Amino acid sequence: MDIGALHFQNPEAFWLLLLVPVLVGWYIYREHRRKSTIKFPALSIAKRAVPSRRVKFRHIVPILRLAALVCFVVALARPQNAMEVEYTSTDGVDIMLALDVSGSMGTLDMLTRMEQAKLGVMNAERILKSGDYWKYSRLGYAQQVIADFIQKRHSDRIGLSAFGARSVTQCPLTLDYGSLLEILKATDDLARDSIMNSRTAIGDGLMNALARLQKSEAKSKVVVLLTDGRDNASLVPPMRAADVAQSLGVKVYTVGVGKKNGKILAFQQNPWTGDISWGERDITPEEGIDEGVLRSVAQKTGGRFYRAENKEELEKIYSEIDELEKTEIETVAYARYAEKFYPWLLVGALLILLELLLANTRFVRIP
């Protein structure tokens, strides 16, 4: 039996509280039948008898007695403080994020109109030299969306690998999301590296991520591979890497970013003065994504292929992956109790002591 935050182990003891109205009724009945007479040798002395305050509060003694009885009954019911304890069992997901950091990831083709107008009025040469344009690039948007994806996870190990002309592990599987986010922010430095940004090794990037999942004992193992190009530098072809993923039970989600066609914002250099300014250029067919390979890799491993031409679409993709790869958490709740009947016994004993003291006190004072 629970009342508020208290749990009572022996609630049947509360039946004894039925004695309280019986005792109250008996006391009232006895008060009405009682007739007191006092003999005085002189009537003048009796007239000068003044009731004291103790006479006015003479009902305190039986009230204390009843209060003590209630305290003893509550103590007999064994009140306990219930503390709920939860035990959580997690079937986690191990996720490796494979991120393309080749030079083409610096392309400015995923801008909103407002962002394009904002960049258009800024000094192009200063933006290029400072590297500030990277946050408006394909890689910049990918970093933002992936960071949001990481922050939505709670009990999954997540790692990060980066690939351009070669593949490197940026962060092994970890629960330290803070450190992982800091490492993610620094991936644009890799994109500026001439060793990394010349070509794209999608197959090697996938193999690097799979190597980190090889010994994983998680119930679900996932690779989310994001790229904007075609495989042209891998030692291991993407489909061979997909075979390895399938044998390891790893699901691969592939994400292609970048516009399929049209014009994009770009830097242009004056051949006579060398000045850098803003301009536009067409997207060439060579810059396109090899959707066929990416789709085949995803289908072979039980994953999905996605295409994003702007940041909004990219956000929807990672939100969908987040929903598809939810961690199963089993929570078992149980209650632990701490005995709380000692204070009731103490209060009851004090009330009895006070009642005994008052019962032996005179209630009439004669001046």
Over residues 255-304, the pLDDT tens digits come to 999 988 878 887 888 888 888 888 888 887 677 899 999 999 999 999 99
Nearest-angstrom CA–CA distance, 180 and 170: 9
Q: Give residue for tokens 């922050």.
A: 151
Nearest-angstrom CA–CA distance, 321 and 304: 9
Residue 108 is classified by DSSP as: B
The most confident of 169-178, 190-199, 286-295, 345-354, by mean pLDDT:
169-178
pLDDT-wise least confident of 58-67, 86-95, 282-291, 358-367: 358-367
What's the pLDDT at 363? 45
pLDDT in tens, 7-57: 666 777 667 777 777 777 777 777 676 655 555 555 555 555 555 555 555
What's the pLDDT at 364? 41
Tell me which long-range contacts 113-121 makes (C-beta under 8 A, separation of at least 24).
Answer: 116/265, 119/265, 119/278, 120/265, 120/278
Nearest-angstrom CA–CA distance, 271 and 275: 8
What's the pLDDT at 332? 54
Q: What tokens does 209 get?
A: 């991520």
- Reported as a pLDDT band with limits 50, 70 and 90, residue 206 is very high
If phi > 0 it is left, if psi is from -120 to 50 it is alpha, else beta; for residue 258 that is left
CB 210 within 8 A of CB 178: no
**pTM (two decimals):** 0.66
Q: Cβ of 194: how many Cβ atoms within 10 Å?
A: 9
Q: What tokens does 132 get?
A: 């500030």
Residue 261 is classified by DSSP as: S
Q: Which residue has the higher pLDDT, 79 or 324?
A: 324
pLDDT in tens, 120-148: 878 888 888 878 888 899 999 999 999 99
CB 11 within 8 A of CB 77: yes
Torsion sign across C-alpha atoms 54, 55, 59, 65: positive
Q: Give residue for tokens 């995803």.
A: 298
What's the pLDDT at 263? 83
Q: What ranges make up the beta strands (E) of the chain?
A: 2-3, 6-8, 50-51, 79-91, 93-100, 157-163, 167-174, 220-227, 250-257, 263-269, 276-282, 305-308, 328-339, 364-365
Sheet with 79-91: list strands edge to edge: 2-3, 6-8, 79-91, 328-339
**What dihedral do alpha carbons 145, 150, 304, 293 form, nearest 10°?**
70
Reduced to 3 states (helix: H, G, I; strand: E, B; else coil), residue 255 is strand
What's the pLDDT at 44? 56
Q: Which of 6, 85, 89 is nearest to 335 (CA)?
A: 85
Residue 329 pLDDT > 60, yes or no? no
Identity of residue 77: A
Q: Say what percent of the chain tops pLDDT 70.
A: 73
